Structure 1
Amino acid sequence: MGETTMTLDATRSLQDLIDANPDLITYFRNETQAPHSRNRPGPSPVPAEFTNWRDEQKAWRETAVLFDQSHHMPELFLKGPDALKLLMKLGINGFSTFGPGKAKQYIACNPQGQVIGESVLQYLAEDSFELVSGMHLQDWVHYNAICGDYDVTVTRDLQTSANTEGRTFFRFGMDGPNAETIFQSVVEGAAPDIKFFNTAKVRIAGCEVMALRHGMAGHKGVELSGPYADGDKVRAALLEAGREHGLKQAGRLAYFSTPSEGGWLAYPVPAVYTSPELRGFREWVSADSWAGKAQLSGSFVGQSIEDYYLTPYDMGLGRLVKFDHDFIGREALEALADAPQRRKVTLVWNKADVATIQGSLYQAETPYKYLEMPVASYGFPQADEVCDQNGNLVGMSGFTGYSGNEAEQLSIAVVDAAYAETGTQVTIVWGEPDGGTAKAQVEKHRQFKVRATVAQAPYALAVQQMKRSGIGKTAA
């Protein structure tokens, strides 16, 4: 049985919430406040901008950028002789070469092969692991550790907004063409050559720091973590070393615009609400969990919450599925392996249509849905209809944002395979039906049909080149 330092609110479970709201889609579209919503109380420790988001975006393409990830990402620590056994039972990934000092993009599915969530999994030491980000998945791992027959202990370190005791670790992400030069210069002694998704311990400003090779912008980026009390000293050393190399600190706006270029389909609707086998989990996890705070937005309105579920193949993560061990969802994924029906793509918005949307703000009639920059998505998650030239629904679009590096409005979509070829013309329905939902951040507006062109995901040339060269090959 697992132990934990986290206190769960057992007064109302996710199952209680579902029972009280049989029309779950309407509830999630109108009544919830997302975990990272801008209208949640309390200021963020990370400013929206340090300078301006335009220059901060350019920094990861032209020089180097420093992100402060210390506050928005929860962490889970798993220890004990059965820790790896538990992770293998839940994870679709392969583990044959997984060992201390390595990391992977960890995915877990329900028995139907639909994604519950993903996280960065780090193998810290024998029988010791860390999950970084991915609250939906962390809750699922926690539940199985507590309720399964596993000799493990669980410790949770929640994001700052939900953490009354303060964060345990700082976490900085540094990326861009000059990031490796800065890393080499700031490390005391000889800096190690770290392979992608591997870790090494280094010293910076007299502090022990864990370095994870992990790039989002097509370069040899690095994620640095250590005791929270050391964060200011490490940050100061990085900024000093990066001064001559154009290192810029980036705020929330630039950070949350990275998926548009990089093609990361983050936080899909967790596939936990309907599976009969997951009822025990729904009765265990709080209604106040992230699964209970989904905030659906956009023009797509499903008939069932299952219409929003995705498989690893839909998300472009089929390469991570390894059928060399028994795991939850294996049978369903084996059946889907040879015939995935959807693919992840980038949609490049027609610039004239974008201008029309923005221009409607200066007209007398009700404007089209406001297209905020650099991140235009207004829910958690966003799902806009993607249609063919005849108006037939062929997919869902989300993570809409502006890339100054590409001078394009981009979104990440999952579309039917027949419409996934580069150059295919589709239409995105921008804005919610009936003038908008009751979400506080949604103004009264009109819908607009945006012409879009299908492109690769990731769209950014630098990221595509990185993946072709093998530098950014995601660890399985």
Structure 2
Amino acid sequence: MSATTLQDALDDADSTVDLLRDLGLARFTDLPDEFTHWIEEQRAWAESVAFADQSYHMTDLRIDGTDAIDLYSDYAVNNFRQFDVGQAKQLVVANPDGYLIGDAILFREAEDSFLSVGAAAAHNWLLYQAERGEYDVETEYQPRPVGTGEDPNNFRYQVQGPDAVAVMEEAIDGDIPDLGFFRFEEVTVDGTEMFLLRHGMAGEAGFEFWGDWNDADDVRESILDAGEEYGIRRLGSKSYQSANTVLGWLPLPVPAIYSGEEMADFREWLSLRRGLISIGGSYDSDDIEDYYVTPIEVGYDHIVDFDHDFVGKEALEAEIDDPDRKKVTLVWDDEDVVDVFASLFREGETKKFMNMPAPRSSACHYDEVKADGDVVGVSKWMSYIYNHREMLSLALVDTEYAEPGTEVTLTWGEADGTRNKSVERHEKTEITATVAKAPYKQDRR
């Protein structure tokens, strides 16, 4: 492919969907799939304490300067009127039509110093605006270090589970700061300085902490030593990815950057390598905008603040009181799931293999969801959760089908004509699913 920018590639492609559909699943992290066994690692976040290493799979964007908060206010849907030093926010950015470009976690480390951590899409958009706009800021961007052989700028770790607080009480020098949710302060572990954020995933209490990469090994071993008596387990990539289905956070929808004249200059600025992301699953549309989502339907409605001007405001104002879709959890029928595996032991075509616990074959997964024979939504992120003994997925469905207890079907398999080399030949099958709330698990953070 001779294209160097995303727009070059789109101009050369028969369609945007064709360009993205068969790219397959890129390497997620430099961590192993499992440190012990993914079932025991899942059990740890519910029964004791789990240790997650988030140092490799996200991008970092630092923005410093007196105009930094103005930049965020112009392009994020958030309210920044109260944003204290030592506070974190979910940063959400939309395109001019109100579709989600991406999100990240934004940390205010000093009055004019901000660090955001997350997938690349939101950071690409903010970097472009910082470079092209008249903002008095300096930026520093760290791509995903996975597979590059380069070290991250920072280590970023997390502990979660019923015993997470006890472990950190033992590991931290002195007392744990009295932190509100999504608040952070500087602490030390065996004399090593780092930031500590009050956080939690999978509905359990927890902390996230980060500092200079040179201290990564020492901090990790100190935390693991403190957690040994509590049965702490490190999360491999399999168990770590599966937590999203119970947390209710919907990662990696297709970024809303591939269409629209107002986004054309951005696509010409964005390199091809940073602009491509893979699509997979049974849902099949020729229109890339059918793969877009909005901040409201994925559950960020409480974050959107209409008391300031931002890109996408008008479209989100029109949607906020009457969204077309809602985020839900789908609980897959046990017998239908078992039949997928049983097909491996029968003559004839087999069903698409479910690689446990998170059977994805693309970054942006979309399975069609039907009711009464009509497509009423898409199932996005699925995982088997041992703690519930269920296969779950996060989905966006038409609001009339979003009531818990509603029965729908999802199509398991790839779209016709797929050439994704990470997927074996198979026949599509329908799986019955029951709508449940999202997050699925009681929040005990």
Question: Aligning the two structures, in what range does the TM-score lie when normalised by the shorter sequence?
Answer: over 0.9
Distance 1:35 1:121, change over 3 A: farther
Q: 1:343 aligns with which of 307, 316, 326?
A: 326
Q: 2:432 aligns with which of 451, 470, 474?
A: 451
CA distance in 1, matches of 2:40, 2:150: 35
> Once the 2 structures are TM-superposed, how far is the Cα of residue 364 of structure 1 from its aligned partner?
1.6
Distance 1:11 1:450, change over 3 A: closer
Alpha carbons 2:3, 2:9 under 8 Å: kept: no
State the Cα deviation string for residues 64-104 of structure 1 (Å, max 9, x = none): 00011111111010011111100110110111111210001
Alignment of 1:393 onto 2:375 = yes
Alpha carbons 1:260, 1:399 under 8 Å: kept: yes
SS at match of 2:338: helix
Alpha carbons 1:422, 1:455 under 8 Å: kept: yes
Alignment of 1:438 onto 2:419 = yes
* Residue 7 of structure 1: aligned partner: none
CA distance in 2, matches of 1:115, 1:381: 14
* Residue 193 of structure 2: aligned partner: 208
Alpha carbons 1:377, 1:398 under 8 Å: kept: no
CA distance in 1, matches of 2:288, 2:343: 33
State the Cα deviation string for residues 299-345 of structure 1 (Å, max 9, x = none): 10113000011111110111110111111011111111111110000
* Residue 355 of structure 1: aligned partner: 338
AA aligned to 1:233 is D
* Residue 129 of structure 1: aligned partner: 114
SS at match of 1:88: helix
> Once the 2 structures are TM-superposed, how far is the Cα of residue 163 of structure 1 from its aligned partner?
4.7
The within-5 A match list for 1:369-408 is: 369-388=352-371, 390-408=372-390
Which shifted more, 216-225 or 345-354? 216-225
Alpha carbons 1:157, 1:163 under 8 Å: kept: no
The size of the alignment, in residue pairs, is 444
> Once the 2 structures are TM-superposed, how far is the Cα of residue 439 of structure 1 from its aligned partner?
1.2
Q: 1:29 aligns with which of 21, 33, 47?
A: 21
CA distance in 2, matches of 1:98, 1:154: 20
Alpha carbons 1:101, 1:122 under 8 Å: kept: yes
* Residue 368 of structure 1: aligned partner: 351
Q: 1:169 aligns with which of 154, 163, 166?
A: 154
What TM-score, normalized by structure 2, do the two folds share? 0.97
> Once the 2 structures are TM-superposed, how far is the Cα of residue 219 of structure 1 from its aligned partner?
2.4
Divergent runs of 4+, >6 A: none
Alignment of 1:280 onto 2:265 = yes
* Residue 306 of structure 1: aligned partner: 289
Alignment of 1:111 onto 2:96 = yes
> Once the 2 structures are TM-superposed, how far is the Cα of residue 134 of structure 1 from its aligned partner?
1.9
> Once the 2 structures are TM-superposed, how far is the Cα of residue 220 of structure 1 from its aligned partner?
2.2
Alpha carbons 2:30, 2:147 under 8 Å: kept: no
CA distance in 2, matches of 1:446, 1:34: 20
State the Cα deviation string for residues 109-162 of structure 1 (Å, max 9, x = none): 001110000000001101110010121000000000001111111101222236
The within-5 A match list for 1:140-155 is: 140-155=125-140
CA distance in 2, matches of 1:164, 1:262: 31
CA distance in 1, matches of 2:281, 2:30: 29
* Residue 228 of structure 2: aligned partner: 243
* Residue 13 of structure 1: aligned partner: 5
State the Cα deviation string for residues 329-370 of structure 1 (Å, max 9, x = none): 111111111111100000000000001111001112120001
Distance 1:296 1:11, change over 3 A: closer
SS at match of 2:272: coil
CA distance in 1, matches of 2:394, 2:89: 22
* Residue 230 of structure 1: aligned partner: 215
AA aligned to 1:172 is Y
SS at match of 2:263: helix
Unaligned runs of 5+ in 2: none
> Once the 2 structures are TM-superposed, how far is the Cα of residue 36 of structure 1 from its aligned partner?
3.3
* Residue 79 of structure 2: aligned partner: 94
SS at match of 2:302: helix
SS at match of 1:224: strand
C-alpha RMSD over aligned residues: 1.4
State the Cα deviation string for residues 182-226 of structure 1 (Å, max 9, x = none): 111111012101111111110002100111111112222111101
Unaligned runs of 5+ in 1: 1-9, 38-43, 472-476
Alpha carbons 1:91, 1:328 under 8 Å: kept: yes
* Residue 302 of structure 2: aligned partner: 319
* Residue 40 of structure 1: aligned partner: none
CA distance in 1, matches of 2:309, 2:135: 16
AA aligned to 2:319 is L
> Once the 2 structures are TM-superposed, how far is the Cα of residue 440 of structure 1 from its aligned partner?
1.6
> Once the 2 structures are TM-superposed, how far is the Cα of residue 287 of structure 1 from its aligned partner?
0.9
Q: 2:395 aligns with which of 399, 413, 430?
A: 413
Identity of aligned residues (%): 40
CA distance in 1, matches of 2:316, 2:218: 46
Distance 1:11 1:28, change over 3 A: closer
CA distance in 2, matches of 1:162, 1:375: 21
